[in-house]
Amino acid sequence: MKAIGALILALGREFVRDRTALFFTLAFPFIFMIIFGLLMQGLDRPRNFDIGLVVEDASPAASGLANALRNVPVLKITEDGFDTEQDRLEEGDRDAVIVVPEGFGDTVTAGATATVRVFFDPSRQTTATIVLPILSQILDGIDRVRAGTPRGLVIEPVSVVASDLRVVDFVAPGVIAMSVMQLGVFSSINLVMRREKLILKRLGATPIRRETVIAGEVLFRLIITAVQAVLLVAMANLAFGVPIQGGFHELIAIVGLGALAFIGLGFAISSFAKTEEGMLPIAQLVSLPMMFLSGIFFPIDGLPGFLQPVVKVLPLTFLGDGIRQTMVGGFSINAMWVNYMALALWLAATFLVAVRLFKWE
Amino acid sequence: MPIVEVRDLRKHYGDVKAVDGLSFEVEPGEVFGMLGPNGAGKSTTVEIVEGLREMDAGHVRILDLDPHRDRVKVRESIGIQLQSASLFDKLTAREHLALFSSFYSRTRTVDELIELVDLADRQNAVSKELSGGQRQRLSFALAMVNDPEVVFLDEPTTGLDPQARRHMWDVVAAMGKEGKTVFLTTHYMEEAELLCDRIAIIDHGKIIALDTPARLIESNFQAQTVSFDTAHGSLSTTELESLSGVTQAVADDGHVELFTADVAATIGALMDYARQQDVPMSDLNIGQANLEDVFLKLTGRRIRD
């Protein structure tokens, strides 16, 4: 125990005294969040949305809904038929196409649940975050008019992305996940550097056990990750108003588990390079694609289908999804327990590899 | 009971036999030196004895323990200085000593260690700002943290300037006087001759001689040397050995060394020979044989840095 404490202290001093590395390690995610938080705010302001409306039902209920939609100020409604509107959606000229299907009125009259279909492009996130909530409000309004009956109208988004989230609500948890991932994966660089400089060999020439060295390195990384995560969460919450709905316990659990899994990944890949220079490209090769394929900055539904199986098993997908669900709810990809299980599996696998392949020199 | 016991030790790297059947013992309280050129297998041997490396075959005991199976117990009682200083760039001398102290159950105080290697005025400088000699001294202090019974020093003065080297020699000599057992490797003749009670001369993974420095010289030479440099490319050592008084002739890269029982006769014969064969000579020397000559005689090569 004494040895682990002393090791953590030594690693901490090394880390804090290298100002350049310190800055680049810790500052990057903040810059990222500030950029997204401030610059993307423009995207959250109301603007007009081009909506194609297709009313296939002649009932009073259907025309009532259509009228309600036509009266929403920010929606620019065109009604040129399903095929034309659908083409325009695919060309990017429409933000969404709303279809009130045939039989809508009858279903409503019968008191059953009626469905309005909404076609939209999930990669255009503002549509998802704004049009659907507006539609939802209108339906609620109509429901309220039909007071006394249970909610009879629901929207069926064709792509499942719906919530009244702002861009920053989506991106801030992604930035936190990214920083946890990077601090973990790039721990490999420090480890390789210490091996290359024969510092690990020197430590190995004392009675200290390999497990103690690994534990010291892992705990030290965990502390750094915790510090950065706390600062990022505080910034997201206080400066940009991103909520923490799931509470701190859940947030600590998911971030802690994710941090350990990624530190394990960093240690596992550190066996594949002999020099610091050789490690850097490997670490980047591991971390960079993950940043784009894990849905931390945009929904994964927008990614091509052949990538989906890959995307669905990446550790960053589980971590990003877990943090986002914990903080803001919404946009969920997996059930929370799936995220925990998957990260735990990654953790077990990477540490197994790391301990197996660990070399003093 | 010997401190270190090595029998028929072998270690191969691919086709290269780094250690090729070494046997030796290190006795309590002695300064034991392993002398040989770079790549002779010195570091490999030491690291196997320390338990840092696996052997392919052979028998190694240290303090009557197995260096791998009894790793923790062995490490508690020995001190290791690696060939490179291997320090954390941004930690000070004191911080290094405190860190390494946490690894051992029995330790000397940081102040004692600082004093031992005379680093008091630099104790709060980070290691990156220390000179080569200071780094080496700190590295030595780290090997002494647990007040070990045996200290392994792998080329402790390689790369140091003469003054720093002399300083290290003083420190090692002081340990020898304290009665500590020291096992050091070096490729400096002078260092081995000055510090070691016994020396194993090692080349291509084999011990070619093992004795006290004085006896190594005595047993190989009753003899003095006549040496010279020459631009003549193809001197025949057989012809040189036929000269009067010469017991052995070695020519290596323009440097010729004649071991002789009769200096006067050899000089006369050499002069006649040089005139007849038109051999240009420079830097003609008559000298007492030293370890350098022992190495040359045994391997046919001079040891080089």
- Check whether residue B168 and residue B246 sit in a common domain: no
User: Same structural domain for residues B43 and B181?
Assistant: yes
For residues B154-177, give the mean pLDDT.
Answer: 88
pLDDT at B141: 94
Would you say residue B145 lies in a domain?
yes
Hey, is B246 helix, strand or coil? strand
- How far is the C-alpha of A146 from the C-alpha of A344, rounded, in Å? 49
Query: Taking a C-beta distance cutoff of 8 angstroms, is the pair B96, B142 a contact?
Result: yes
User: Does B293 reside within a domain?
Assistant: no
pLDDT at A114: 76
SS3 B60: strand
| Least confident segment among A99-103, A192-196, B274-278, B292-296 | B292-296
CA pair distance A110, B183, nearest whole angstrom: 97
Residue A23 has which token pair? 């800055």
State phi, psi for B203 to the nearest 5 degrees.
-150, 135
pLDDT band at A92 (very low <50, low <70, confident <90, very high): confident
Beta-bridge partner residues of B182:
B31, B151
The single-letter DSSP state of residue B203 is E
- Min Cα separation B185/chain A (Å): 17
**Is B155 domain-assigned?**
yes
Among the listed residues B134, B146, B88, B81, the one whose alpha carbon sits nearest the alpha carbon of residue A199: B88
Same domain, B74 and B158: yes
- Is residue B130 in some structural domain? yes
Amino acid A162: pLDDT:
35
Q: Hunting for tokens 């971390």 — which residue is that?
A: A287
Q: What is the b/e burial string over A223-259, where b = at least 16 CB atoms within 10 angstroms of the residue's CB?
A: ebbbebbeebbebbeeebebeeebeeebbebbbbbbb
Q: Could you give phi then psi for residue B206, rounded to 5 degrees?
A: -125, 145
Q: Which of B86, B127, B139, B147 to mutate: most A Cβ within 10 Å?
A: B86
* Cβ pair B33, B195 in contact under 8 A: yes
Tokens of B126: 């980070």
Q: For A14, which of B75, B91, B142 is closest by C-beta distance?
A: B91
Number of domains composing chain B? 2
| Structure confidence at residue A123 as a pLDDT band (50, 70, 90) | low
d(C-alpha A188, C-alpha A167), whole Å: 32
pLDDT at residue A46 in the model: 47
Query: Which ipTM score applies to this complex?
Result: 0.81
- Tens digits of residue pLDDT in A27-63: 888 888 888 777 766 555 445 678 888 888 888 878 8
Query: Which residues from chain B sit within 8 angstroms of residue A206, using beta carbons?
Result: 75, 80, 100, 103-104
Q: Are A157 and A120 in contact (CB under 8 A)?
A: yes
Same domain, B231 and B283: yes
Where do the domains of chain A lie?
2-40+166-357, 46-157
pLDDT at A104: 82
Parallel/antiparallel/unpaired status of strands B198-203 and B224-229 = unpaired
Contacts across the A-B interface (CB distance below 8 Å): 63
Q: Among A13, A199, A205, whose Cβ lies nearest the Cβ of B95?
A: A13
pLDDT band at A296 (very low <50, low <70, confident <90, very high): confident
For residue A128, what pLDDT band results from cuts at 50, 70 and 90? low
**Residue B43 and residue B154 in contact, taking contact as beta carbons nearer than 8 Å:** yes
- Which H/E stretch holds residue A140? helix A125-145
Q: Which of B75, B86, B126 sits opposite A202 (nearest CB)?
A: B86
Tell me if residue A325 falls in helix, strand or coil. helix
> How many CB atoms lie under 10 A from the CB of residue B76?
18
Based on the fold, state whether residues B124 and B231 are members of the same structural domain.
no
- A217 contacts in B (CB within 8 Å)? none
End-to-end CA distance of chain A: 24
Mean pLDDT score of chain B: 89
**pLDDT value for A71:** 76
User: Who among A2, A201, A207 is closest to B72 (CB)?
Assistant: A207
Token pair belonging to B74:
């062995």
Of B180, B213, B246, the last residue of a domain is B213
Stretch among A149-163, A339-353, B86-100, B209-223 having the lowest mean pLDDT: A149-163
Which amino acid is present at B253? D
Superfamily of domain A46-157: abc type-2 transporter like domain (3.40.1710.10)
C-alpha to C-alpha distance for A46 and B187, rounded to whole angstroms: 79
Q: Do B84 and A207 make contact, defined as CB atoms within 8 angstroms?
A: no
Q: What number of other Cβ atoms are within 10 A of residue B187's Cβ?
A: 20
If asked whether residues B238 and B205 sit together in one domain, one would say no
Secondary structure (3-state) at B80: strand
Q: What is the DSSP letter of A36?
A: I
Mark whether B279 and B208 lie in a shared domain: no
Backbone angle region of B257, left / alpha / beta, with phi > 0 → left and psi within -120 to 50 → alpha: beta
Q: Which of B13, B71, B83, B88 to mutate to test the interface with A (most CBs of A within 10 A)?
A: B88
In this structure, the answer to whether residues B100 and B59 fall within a common structural domain is: yes
Position B300 in a domain: no
Of B160, B184, B213, the residue at which a domain comes to its end is B213
pLDDT of B200 > 80? The answer is yes
Cβ neighbourhood burial of B221 (10 Å; 0-12, 13-18, 19+): buried
Structural domain contains residue B43: yes
Q: Which domain holds residue B248?
A: 222-288
Question: How many Å apart are CA A267 and CA A258, to the nearest integer?
Answer: 14
Of the candidates B181, B213, B245, which is a domain's last residue?
A: B213
pLDDT band at A228 (very low <50, low <70, confident <90, very high): very high
Q: Residue A185: is its pLDDT beyond 80?
A: yes
Q: Does A1 touch chain B (CB under 8 A)?
A: no
Quick one: average pLDDT of B118-125? 93
| Separation between Cα atoms, residue A104 and residue A110, nearest integer Å | 10
On chain A, the residues whose CB falls within 8 A of the CB of B50 are 205
**Residue B272 and residue B133 share a domain:** no
Q: Are residues B191 and B274 in the same domain?
A: no
Average pLDDT over residues A321-349: 89
Q: Are residues B100 and B24 in the same domain?
A: yes
Gyration radius from chain A CA atoms = 25
Whether A69 shows a pLDDT value over 90: the answer reads no
Q: Name the residue of chain A whose CA is nearest to B78's CA.
A: A206
State the pLDDT confidence band at A95, using cuts at 50, 70 and 90: confident
Nearest CA distance, A280 vs chain B (angstrom): 20
Strand B150-154 with B78-81, pairing: parallel
Whether residues B209 and B231 fall in one domain: no
CA B261, B264, B265, B267 torsion-angle sign: positive
